[in-house]
């Protein structure tokens, strides 16, 4: 998987973005999670969200690329860390209170399938919180359609996904979409 190749460089590449705005956005995103609950992160990468986790009854960080997990392991231990495909989660139905992902649904091959999996492993009153780059509206959207051809080929990264619409199509209730950076980034809050 492409993120196995990027793992060693990932934190260094992200560092300027983290300093400029991303770390703040991560903190804001995770502030929507319930406290002392069972929390699942999908596509946890190298664990850049770990410092922002709320106090949890049980927090599980899942990630597909084993090399990303190796880097994440160095960051913080109280979180259970495991290899799992977001399209096929190894959890029983209705186990978690909330799930979240940051910058992940752009690279999952079948995002609708992954949203259906999140819905399955969440309780009936569960929440899904997402921070994702998406296809912006207006003229910028067409530019992202063009960019998408290259980003998919080079990085398996989809630059024109309409992630809130995909979540809705998968049966989640999208209750709020906050736009950031000219609508290129969305904070999306869903309920089961
Ligand atoms: C851009 S990185 C984001 C990592 C981390 N969430 C962050 O915010 O820094 C995308 C991550 O999604 C993971 N990913 C892609 N497809 C996945 C899948 N089907 N299941 C689980 N993780 C996946 C990649 O391995 C990679 O670590």
- Per-residue model confidence (pLDDT) at position 79: 85
Q: Ligand 1 centroid vs 87 CA: distance in angstroms?
A: 12
- Per-residue model confidence (pLDDT) at position 8: 97
CB of 48 closer than 6 angstroms to any ligand 1 atom: yes
- Per-residue model confidence (pLDDT) at position 78: 67
| Each residue's pLDDT expressed in tens, for the chain with a length of 192 residues | 899 999 999 999 999 999 999 999 999 999 999 999 999 999 999 999 999 999 988 999 999 999 999 999 999 766 899 999 999 999 999 999 999 999 999 999 999 999 999 999 999 999 999 999 999 999 999 999 999 999 999 999 999 999 999 999 999 999 999 999 999 999 999 999
Tell me which residue range forms the domain holding 167: 2-191
Give yes or no for a contact between 64 and 109, defined as CB atoms under 8 angstroms apart: no
Q: What CATH number is attached to the domain comprising 38?
A: 3.40.50.150
The token duo for 20 is 């400029």
Distance in angstroms (rounded) separating the CA atoms of residues 30 and 32 = 5
Which atom of ligand 1 is nearest to 101's Cα?
Answer: 6
Give yes or no for a contact between 98 and 33, defined as CB atoms under 8 angstroms apart: yes
Total number of domains constituting the chain:
1
CB of 47 closer than 6 angstroms to any ligand 1 atom: no
The phi-psi region of residue 110 (left if phi > 0; otherwise alpha if psi is between -120 and 50; otherwise beta) is: beta
- Per-residue model confidence (pLDDT) at position 57: 80
pTM: 0.96
């Amino acid at each position: 998987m492409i993120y196995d190749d990027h793992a060693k460089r990932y934190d260094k590449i992200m560092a300027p973005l983290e300093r400029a705005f991303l770390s703040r956005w991560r903190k804001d995103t995770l502030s929507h999670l319930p406290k002392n609950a069972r929390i699942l992160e999908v596509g946890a990468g190298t664990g850049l969200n770990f410092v922002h986790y709320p106090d949890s009854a049980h927090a599980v960080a899942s990630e597909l690329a084993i090399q990303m997990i190796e880097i994440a392991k160095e960051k913080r231990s109280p979180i259970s860390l495991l290899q799992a495909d977001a399209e096929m989660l190894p959890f029983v139905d209705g186990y978690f209170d909330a799930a979240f992902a940051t910058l992940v649904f752009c690279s999952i091959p079948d995002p609708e399938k992954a949203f259906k999996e999140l819905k399955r492993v969440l309780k009936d009153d569960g929440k899904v919180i997402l921070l994702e780059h998406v296809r912006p509206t207006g003229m910028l959207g067409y530019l992202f359609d063009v960019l998408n051809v290259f980003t998919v080929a080079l990085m398996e990264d989809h630059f024109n996904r309409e992630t809130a619409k995909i979540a809705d199509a998968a049966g989640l209730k999208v209750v709020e979409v906050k736009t950031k950076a000219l609508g290129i980034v969305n904070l999306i809050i869903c309920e089961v």
